[in-house]
């Protein structure tokens, strides 16, 4: 066996030599303390030692191993436990060299209110929710008082199901406050999408029967629902109640039509997830198709990060240290699929059957079975209706990945075209950073400035910033631009100067350049030197405006001692027509017209339009807050952003909240009787 690498700290190598031959999880860190990789092993000593005893020069794994200076390990009882811990750490810590799926578990559900018998008998629900439950689209924390069906892959799928149930069972969808105050039936009753319980056009017993049929349909008991409807129709016919019999006949016809349209309906499989992985061009797509209650609810594609790096490392170091066999792309696909299953289903409810495009390892299935408390099966190479599901999911995966590759290729071509047009460095285009500014207000009211960021060939919306502009003459766009640029780059310029001279940075003046947090929707923290990855300036600063705005930017950059060549103004062309924009430079270069079909101009327009959208949405929210007195709710103790949003959504604004009674306020989720009384007193 070759000796361990001499390029690593002796303490690290001694820790590796002392590892036990037990199952566990290991974590590698670089000199800056950043997590590089998380892995699991049946035998920690054998697995971890292989990183340092083999020659990995010139490979991705060699690049990672060369950075390792510290290691942490955790011993567990079994390989299943190691797998669960590994993927929990991957999701929470985002290591650089692991296959990583974005943790998005916020699936929408179809909710039917007040149908849980325990709470109905306890009288804890509002009267309309007990007597006449309603259907609703829902996303969030599950409330045990209600019944939830799903999850659905998209909001569209939930709304389609609600429309279907309205046609067949005619359940209400209106809020309890609307229901309680109706004096005549609404339009949904007129078009036969609701049975009109709000004005007593259906009694509670019959409505409850429709609710029960809807729930059985959602659980996949379609034949039982049809049989029950047929029995009721015959009973009405025997009593010569032909109108009621005709109504039920129409229900059965509508339900049968739906079932015929649902070509993937089956009575043998109720809840199944179909998983297909496609790998191409260094990217991967996992397409998840959901079958719930025997009905196909739709597909949802997922695109993991770090596929090439992680797959190269995993392929180089098999758990048993045996050389991998088979097509390399197929091996990558298996690893991507297993990473998705492990990360996606940890800590959430899952069906007991998975239909997969590639085989899944037994340890992974054992870990999922241990988590759910019942056996989880993965079916590879399925037959009959499962084969149809798999083929449809495969087609959707192919389409989604092809679309992604096309979009990425187009965006990269635009980035390169802009770099060529402005003579920017093109050796590392993914690191090219562009920041764009725009000012928005309504006749000087509620002035907002926005800064959006483009990097790595895409908009980085987590780095967007809004600035509330104060202390200027209303409508003075030049003063607003001066203020936002000073606030954005003042600290960075000071940090760069202190770095160059070795002296500590001087504090930045509080007014008018002090940062202010915006209270509009989509709130994000204000910029600091750290929020832009240290004292780093963008490669390009776009200003939405012509000579005047660019002149202001030039003055600010001269004041701060920054490079003028990175400032570019986007001046509207003749007649303000799209495609005729010209670029104006702060360093004295002549204007440039790129051409209406230029890929570079398309990218500039995309970034400029995003800055405008972000600024105007913030301005409108700020203006609405000022005009409606939104701060009245913000000042009430115990009413945070979520409860405030629920109140405004339920009652249509602050005025509606103020007009609501204490009892009405109690019907809002999360609002207790004590808090409702506090809100009522504060608004009166």
CATH match of 272-403 with 3.30.420: yes
| pLDDT of res. 528 | 35
H/E/C letters for each residue in 584-615? EECCCCCCECCCCCCHHHHHHHHHHHHHHHHH
Contact 439, 469 (CB under 8 A): yes
Contact 466, 615 (CB under 8 A): yes
Measure CA 215 to chain center.
Answer: 29
| pLDDT of res. 516 | 39
pTM more than 0.85: no
> Of 231 and 196, which is predicted with more confidence?
196
Is 511's pLDDT higher than 50?
no
Q: How far apart are CA 337 and CA 345, in angstroms?
A: 12
Residue 232's φ and ψ, nearest 5 degrees, are -65, -40
Is 541's pLDDT higher than 60?
yes
| pLDDT of res. 6 | 59
| pLDDT of res. 103 | 59
> Which segment, 112-126, 247-261, 383-397, 568-582, is predicted with the most confidence on average?
383-397
| pLDDT of res. 358 | 92
Over residues 77-99, the mean pLDDT reads 84
Alpha carbons within 13 angstroms on the beta-carbon side of residue 478 total 9
> Of 510 and 449, which is predicted with more confidence?
449
Lowest-pLDDT choice from 150-159, 255-264, 316-325, 387-396? 316-325
Residues of each domain in the chain carrying CATH 3.30.420.340: 433-625
| pLDDT of res. 518 | 39
| pLDDT of res. 550 | 92
> Of 545 and 106, which is predicted with more confidence?
545
> Of 408 and 402, which is predicted with more confidence?
402
DSSP state of 305: B
Residues of each domain in the chain carrying CATH 1.10.150.20: 629-683
Over residues 242-252, the mean pLDDT reads 77
CA dist 675 → 27, 361, 449, 601 (Å) = 46, 51, 36, 54
> Of 651 and 587, which is predicted with more confidence?
587
Is 52's pLDDT higher than 60?
yes
| pLDDT of res. 521 | 36
Is 121's pLDDT higher than 70?
no
Q: How far apart are CA 671 and CA 638, in angstroms?
A: 9
* Level-2 CATH architecture, domain 433-625: 2-Layer Sandwich (3.30)
Which fold, 10-93?
A: GIY-YIG endonuclease (3.40.1440)
Q: How far apart are CA 1 and CA 656, in angstroms?
A: 76
Q: State pLDDT tens for residues 519-537.
A: 333 433 333 333 334 447 8
- 3-state DSSP call for residue 299? strand
CA dist 341 → 255, 273, 346, 427, 473 (Å) = 35, 11, 8, 37, 57
Q: State pLDDT tens for residues 429-463.
A: 888 999 999 988 776 667 888 999 999 888 998 88
Q: State pLDDT tens for residues 168-223.
A: 888 999 888 888 888 888 899 988 889 899 998 888 888 988 888 888 888 777 77
Q: State pLDDT tens for residues 599-629.
A: 888 899 889 999 988 888 877 766 665 554 4
Residues of each domain in the chain carrying CATH 3.40.1440.10: 10-93
Instruction: State the chain's mean pLDDT as an integer.
Output: 79
Percentage of the residues of the chain whose pLDDT score is greater than 70: 81
Is 597's pLDDT higher than 90?
no
Assign 56 a pLDDT band (cuts: 50, 70, 90): low
Which fold, 629-683?
A: DNA polymerase; domain 1 (1.10.150)
| pLDDT of res. 326 | 60
Is 278's pLDDT higher than 50?
yes
Contact 682, 635 (CB under 8 A): yes
| pLDDT of res. 554 | 93
């Amino acid at each position: 066996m070759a000796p361990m690498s001499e390029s690593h700290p002796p303490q690290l190598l001694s820790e590796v030599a002392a590892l036990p031959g037990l199952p566990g999880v290991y974590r590698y860190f670089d000199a800056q303390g950043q997590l590089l990789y998380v892995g699991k092993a049946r035998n920690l000593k054998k697995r971890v030692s292989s990183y340092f005893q083999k020659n990995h020069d010139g490979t991705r794994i060699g690049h990672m191993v060369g950075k390792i200076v510290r290691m942490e390990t955790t011993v567990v009882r079994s390989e299943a436990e190691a797998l669960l811990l590994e993927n929990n750490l991957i999701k929470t810590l985002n290591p650089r060299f692991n296959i990583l799926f974005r943790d998005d578990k916020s699936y929408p559900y179809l909710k039917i209110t007040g149908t849980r018998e325990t709470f109905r008998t306890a009288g804890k629900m509002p009267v309309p929710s007990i007597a006449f439950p309603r259907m609703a689209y829902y996303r969030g924390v599950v409330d045990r008082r209600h019944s939830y069906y799903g999850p659905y892959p998209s909001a569209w799928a939930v709304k389609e199901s609600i429309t279907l149930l309205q046609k067949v069972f005619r359940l209400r969808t209106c809020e309890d406050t609307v229901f309680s105050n109706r004096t005549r039936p609404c339009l949904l009753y007129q078009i036969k999408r609701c049975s009109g319980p709000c004005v007593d056009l259906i009694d509670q017993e019959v409505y409850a029967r429709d609710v029960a049929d809807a729930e059985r349909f959602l659980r996949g008991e379609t034949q039982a629902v049809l049989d029950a409807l047929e029995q009721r129709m015959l009973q009405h016919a025997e009593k010569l109640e032909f109108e009621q019999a005709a109504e039920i006949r129409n229900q059965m016809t509508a339900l049968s039509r739906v079932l015929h349209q649902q070509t993937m309906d089956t009575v043998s499989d109720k809840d199944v997830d179909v998983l297909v992985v496609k790998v191409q061009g260094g990217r991967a797509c996992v397409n998840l198709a959901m079958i719930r209650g025997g009905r196909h609810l739709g597909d949802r594609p997922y695109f993991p990060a770090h596929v090439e790096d992680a797959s190269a490392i995993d392929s180089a170091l098999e758990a048993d240290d045996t050389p991998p066999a088979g097509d390399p792309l197929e091996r990558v696909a298996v690893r991507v699929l297993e990473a998705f299953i492990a990360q996606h289903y940890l800590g959430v409810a899952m069906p007991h059957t998975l239909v997969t495009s590639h085989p899944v390892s037994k340890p992974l299935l054992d870990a999922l079975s241990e988590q759910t408390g019942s056996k989880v099966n993965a079916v590879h190479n399925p037959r009959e209706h499962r084969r149809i599901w798999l083929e449809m999911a495969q087609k959707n995966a192919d389409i989604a990945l092809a679309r992604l590759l096309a979009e990425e290729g187009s965006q990269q071509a635009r980035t390169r075209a802009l770099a060529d047009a402005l003579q920017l460095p093109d050796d590392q285009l993914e690191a090219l950073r562009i920041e764009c500014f725009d000012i928005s207000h309504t006749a000087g009211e509620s002035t907002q400035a926005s800064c959006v960021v483009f990097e790595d060939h895409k908009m980085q919306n987590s780095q967007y910033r809004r600035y509330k502009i104060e202390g200027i003459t209303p409508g003075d766009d030049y003063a607003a631009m001066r203020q936002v640029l000073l606030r954005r780059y003042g600290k960075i310029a000071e940090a760069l100067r202190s770095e160059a001279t070795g002296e500590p940075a001087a504090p930045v003046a509080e007014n008018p350049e002090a940062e202010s947090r915006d209270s509009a929707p989509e709130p994000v923290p204000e910029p600091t030197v750290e929020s832009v990855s240290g004292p780093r300036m963008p490669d390009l600063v776009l200003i939405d405006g012509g000579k005047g705005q660019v002149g202001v930017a030039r003055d600010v950059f001269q004041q701060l001692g920054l490079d003028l060549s990175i400032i570019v103004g986007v001046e509207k062309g003749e007649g303000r027509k799209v495609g005729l924009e010209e670029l104006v430079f702060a360093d004295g270069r002549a204007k440039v017209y790129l051409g209406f079909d230029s890929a570079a101009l398309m990218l500039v327009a995309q970034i400029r339009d995003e800055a405008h959208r972000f600024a105007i949405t913030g301005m409108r929210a700020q203006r609405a807050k000022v005009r409606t007195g939104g701060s009245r709710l913000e000042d009430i103790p115990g009413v945070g952003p979520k409860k405030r949003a629920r109140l405004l959504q339920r009652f249509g604004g602050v005025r509606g909240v103020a007009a609501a009674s204490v009892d009405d306020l109690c019907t809002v989720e999360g609002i207790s009787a004590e808090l409702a009384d506090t809100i009522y007193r504060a608004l009166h």
